Structures are given as C-alpha cells and as structure tokens.
C-alpha cells in the first residue's frame, strides 16, 4: 500500500498483477518461506521481490515508508493499519524481528495512523507494551477487539501475567486478551496453554516452522488443533484428545 501510494503520487498507473499483461515493474512479496510462489511467467521489464518469505530482511526506503498507505487497494477494508513502535527488546532465536527491525523505538502516533474515513485501527506492533511510547499511545485508545499477546516459552508467563494486569488496570476487559503460543516441545506447550487459560487469556497455538520451510510434526499439528478448537480445549483434556 505504501508502494502504491508512492507510485500514484508520481502519476504512475498501479494495479494488481494480471498474468495476461506486460508491465514496467512487478512487485512480489510474501511473509512466510513456506508460502507458495507464482509459477507462471511474469511479463515485466523488472521484477522486485521482498519480504521475510524471500529471506529479505530489509525495509522500504524512508520516503516510501512515510507515505500514507493506499487503502483503495483493499476496498473491503474499512480500518487503518500501522505500527506505534517497531523492533523488539528481545532476541528470540526463531524470530526475524531483531534482525529486520532492531531495537524497539517509536514509529508513529495513533493520529498519524488513523484514516480520515474511519475510527478503527489495527495495530501490528511486535512488542508495544515494552516501550513508553507504545504504552502512552495505547492508553488513549478504546479497545473494541482483541489485544494479541505472544507467549512462546514458559519463561514469558510472568511477563504475560504482568501485562494482563496492566491492561485490566487500564480498563481492557480480559475477554479481549488473545495470546499466540509457539509449539515446539508439545509437553511444555501444553503446560503453557493451561497456564494462559488459568489467567483468563485465550491461547492460540502455532506449530513451529523453521526458515527453510520445515514441516511441523504430526503431534504439534494435533496439539494446535486441540488448543484452537475452543469446544475441544474446554471440554476434554489433551491426553484424551491425543488418544
């Protein structure tokens, strides 16, 4: 959306790729290494690929990143999307954020992210509670949907508990708390899921995939299915679901 807005400001024609047409330039991006790629011939003078799915950990030039996004690309989307902060204070071995974005720092205010035609924002920060700027900006917003947390190891449980306490104190209802959890060792992940549930936080399990596209194990997939099927998670134990 930033690229589209930047090109349109220079009177360039921008559209979604059509395999039957020839273009001056085609941009391709993907988030995950295991995402499928386009297998047909791309008719273009230049093809630029980027994103973590291509193992490209760079970023857009500052003048393009600063451009207001072109929301006309997604006419069905009525909310704004952006970051209050970029980067993270942690250096988790499975995460590309430290490599891609570095230390946590302010990125925008909520006023800079907001669209003139909508009051709704979706914030995509990696660790918004870890910076005073993020906390100050969040305190000025009314939360109507989920606050998404992440608890990828048992050592993060005390941090999650403290973050939940801060948010409850700020008036955010516990029903809004949603927590992603990476699944590597299933037994450890099981203990984590139960601990999060006890805190009143909805866990969402994600089986681990490495940068080279390695597939999760059958047990990791089955455990994630149990956690993410709320009816199963609440009605039976993992040992029974595992069979």
What does the H/E/C string look like for 34-68? CCCCCCCCCCEEEEEEECHHHCCCCCCCHHHHCCC
In this prediction the pTM is 0.79
Q: What are phi and psi of 229, to 5 degrees?
A: -90, 95
Angle of helix 218-228 versus helix 186-198 axis, rounded to 10: 10
Low-confidence ranges of the chain (pLDDT < 50): none
């Amino acid at each position: 959306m930033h690229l589209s807005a930047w090109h349109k400001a220079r009177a360039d024609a921008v559209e979604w790729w059509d395999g039957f047409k020839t273009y001056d330039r085609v941009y391709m991006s993907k988030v995950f290494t295991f995402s499928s790629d386009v297998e047909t011939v791309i008719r273009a003078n230049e093809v630029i690929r980027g994103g973590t799915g291509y193992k490209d950990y760079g970023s857009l030039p500052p003048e393009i990143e600063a451009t207001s996004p072109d929301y006309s690309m997604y006419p069905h989307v009525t909310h704004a999307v952006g970051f209050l902060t970029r980067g993270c204070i942690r250096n988790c071995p499975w995460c590309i954020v430290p490599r891609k974005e570095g230390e946590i720092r302010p990125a925008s205010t909520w006023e800079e992210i907001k669209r003139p035609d909508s009051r709704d924002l979706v914030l995509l920060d990696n660790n918004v509670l870890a910076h005073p700027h993020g906390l100050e900006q969040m305190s000025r917003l009314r939360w109507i949907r989920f606050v998404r947390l992440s608890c990828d190891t048992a050592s993060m449980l005390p941090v999650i508990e403290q973050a939940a306490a801060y948010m409850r104190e700020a008036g955010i209802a516990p029903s809004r708390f949603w927590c992603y959890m990476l699944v590597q060792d299933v037994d450890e992940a099981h203990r984590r899921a139960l601990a999060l549930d006890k805190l009143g936080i909805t866990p969402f399990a994600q089986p681990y995939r490495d940068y080279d596209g390695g597939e999760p194990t059958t047990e990791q997939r089955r455990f994630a299915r149990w956690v993410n099927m709320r009816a199963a998670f609440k009605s039976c134990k993992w040992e029974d679901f595992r069979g």
